[in-house]
Amino acid sequence: MCGICCSVSFSVEHFSKDLKEDLLYNLKRRGPNSSKQLLKSNEYYQCLFSGHVLHLRGFLTAQPLEDERGNVFLWNGEVFSGIKVEAKENDTQIMFNYLSSCKNESDILSLFSEVQGPWSFIYYQASNHHLWFGRDFFGRRSLLWHFGNLGKSFCLSSVGAQTPEVANPWQEVPASGIFRIDLKPTSISKSVVLKLYPWKYISKENVTNECVNSLTQISANLPTFVSVIVNEAKLYLKKTVVPLNMMLPQASFNTHCSNISSVPPTRETLEGFLADGNMREIVQQFIDVLSIAVKRRVLCLPRDENPTPSEDSQTCNRKANVAILFSGGIDSMVIATLVDRHIPLDEPIDLLNVAFMTKEKIIPTSFNEKKRKQKNCEIPYEESSKNVAAAAVASSDKQFSVPDRITGRAGLKELQAASPFRTWNFVEINVSLEELQKFRRARICHLVQPLDTVLDDSIGCAVWFASRGIGQLVTQDEVQSYQSNAKVVLTGIGADEQLAGYSRHRVRFQTHGLEGLNKEIEMELCRISSRNLGRDDRVIGDHGKEARFPYLDENVVSFLNSLPIWEKANLTLPRGIGEKLILRLAALELGLTTSALLPKRAMQFGSRIAKMEKNNEKASDKCGRLQVISLENLSIEKEITT
C-alpha cells in the first residue's frame, strides 16, 4: 500500500516545490514507512512526484523511483501473479525494471496486461514527455484526478484533499484502462487530451468482449478543456479475467431445480447438493482456487522471527500480521478458515468486528449497590473489581448487541472448535454516536469523497472504524483494551456481487429470470470499481493498512465466471441457502456448519450504523453528512486522529 501523487503545472505561476499541507498529510497516513518527493521541470511544465510507502514486501523501496534516463515511477500495488516476483524482492522495483526496458507503448500495455493483483500507478517517460497512469481492471486501488482552472494544472493522487474549487472537484480515475497525457502539447494548447488504452478480452474465436465506460460517460463530469479519446493505434490491454458465462439451462429453471423452493435451509439440504459427484468436484475446485488466492495475500509479509517470551507463560507474544473484517457471516468465515491454513499456527489472527451503539441506552446499576448499603458488609477488592468488570461487559453487550456482534461471536466459537490451537483475537469495536460524528467530520468524509450517497456514508464509516482496529478483547474474566496493528486487512467484498448475494439479485431473478440475473451480475463486476473499491481502499489505507480482496483475485473471478449461474446460486431456494450456494457448499466442505446457513445481511444493517441517525433515508440519496465542510484547523484534525 502506498500513497502516490503527481502534481503537474503548465504555467510558471503555478510551479511549487511542495504539495498542499492537507493533501500531503492524507498521503503520509497511507504510507507511514517512507516519504519522498521528486521535482521534474523544464520550460513547458513541472511535475512534482510524491511517494509514501507502507512497507510489506521485500526490501523497503522508497518512492518515487527514477532511472538514468529520467523516467519516474510511482506504484501502489501488489503483484500476486503474472510477473515473477521472488519472496524477498520488492514488486515496485521489479515493475520499474520492466518499464524501463519497454521500447514502445505496446510493451507497456503488454506488461500491465500480465500483472495479476491490485494496482494503480503513475509513470513519467522523460524522453517523449508522456505521463501514463491507471488502475487495475477491478479498481482495487484508488486513484483520483483533479483538474485546475483553464488547463493550467492537474493532479493525480491516491487520496484527495479539500478543494475550494467547487467547479472542478476531485474525481475517481475510471478503471477503464490506462490513460496517457502528452505533457508538452498540453502545456502549449492548455487543453488536456486523455488518451485511453481500454481493457478488452479477445476469445479464441477472436470475439471481442469489453467492459469499459463509454468515452461519453468518462467525459461527463470533466471540465470543458479536458477531452478523452481512444489512442490512435487502437491498442488495448488484455483482460486476464474471462467473460461471464451467460448460458441458460435447456429446461426451465424450476424444472431443472426439481421444484425445491420449499426446502428449508438446513445442513442436510446442503449435503444433498454435495451428494452429486459433479457438484462436489466443482466446489472443491472453487475451494482450491480461493485457497491459493488467500495464500498469496497472507504469506509474503514481514514477520517477527524472534518473538519475545511473555511474562506469565512460556509461550511467545507474537503479533497478528493479518486481520479480517469479520461479521461471522459466510464470506468472512470462509476467508478466516483459509487464512488459518496458510499462516504459522503460533501467529494470531485478528477478527475485526464493529458495532454501533443502539439508540436505547441502558444505564447499568452496580451489581452490589444494595450490599454496599448494608452495615458491616465489606467486599474484597478483587471481587469488587470483577463485579465492576462484569457489569461493564453486561452493559456494553446490551448497547452493542447488534446482529453482526451476535453472529461474530458464534463464528468465533466455530473457528475455535475447528482450530483450537490458533489464537483468534475477536476484537469488539464499539462506536458511539459522538465518536462516529467526530471522526466522520475529521477524516471519513474526506476519504469517502468523491462518493456521496447514504450507502457510501454507512459503509465508509463502518469500514473505517473496523479497519482502525481499536477495541477490546472480552474473555470470561476480563475486558482488555486492544489495538490491531496488522498491516493487511482482508475483506469479503466481491462474493455477493458474483454469487447473487444481494436482495436486488433475487428481485431481478423473480422479474426477469436467469437471463436477467446474469445481466445483473455482469453489471455488478463492471461497476464495482466505482461503487466500492476505490472508497474502501482510501478508507482502509488511511490507517496505514492495506486492503486485500481474495474474492476478486483474477483466477477466482475467472473460475466463477466460467460456471453457469445455477452452479453458483439457486434463487428458487430460500434465503440462507439459495444465494451464494457454491460458497455455502464450500463452507460445509471446510467444516463450517452454522455460518454456512446464515442469510446475507448488509454491513450497514448488521453493524446497525444505518439505524444510528436518520432512518427514513434511501441508500441512493445524497448524504448531507458527507459534505466536506472547511476544516477549522488542520492541527485540530491531526490531534483527534492520532
Please pick, among 2, 6, 155, 526, the residue that the annotation labels catalytic: 2
Is the Cβ–Cβ distance between 194 and 227 less than 8 Å?
A: yes
DSSP 404-456: HHHHHHHHHHHHHHH-TTS-EEEEEEEE-HHHHHHHIIIIIHHHHTT--BHHH
Of 156, 130, 154, 126, which Cα lies nearest the Cα of 65?
126
Of 25, 136, 123, 6, which Cα lies nearest the Cα of 534?
136
Q: Which residues pair with 51 in a beta bridge?
A: 4, 36
Please enumerate in sequence order all residues whose Cβ is within 8 A of that of 442, keeping only pairs 6 or more positions apart, or say none. Answer: 636, 637, 640, 641
Task: Give burial (CB, 10 Å; 0-12/13-18/19+) of 155.
Answer: buried
322-325 β-sheet, strand order: 479-483, 470-474, 424-431, 349-356, 322-325, 488-490, 546-548
Is the Cβ–Cβ distance between 347 and 318 less than 8 Å?
A: yes
Strand duo 130-135 + 153-157: pairing: unpaired
Question: In whole angstroms, what separates CA 486 from the centre of its chain?
Answer: 15
Of 160, 156, 181, 192, which Cα lies nearest the Cα of 75?
156
**Residue 616 in grid coordinates:** 427514513
Is the Cβ–Cβ distance between 1 and 52 less than 8 Å?
A: no
Of 48, 117, 127, 514, which Cα lies nearest the Cα of 297?
117
Is the Cβ–Cβ distance between 257 and 273 less than 8 Å?
A: no
CB count in 10 Å sphere of residue 415 = 24
Q: Which residues pair with 182 in a beta bridge?
A: 130
| Active-site residue flag, 461 | no
Host H or E run for residue 289: helix 277-298
Helix or strand or coil: residue 79? coil
Helix or strand or coil: residue 63? coil
Where helices occur in 65-132 by DSSP H, the ranges are 91-101, 105-114
Could you list the active site residues?
A: 2
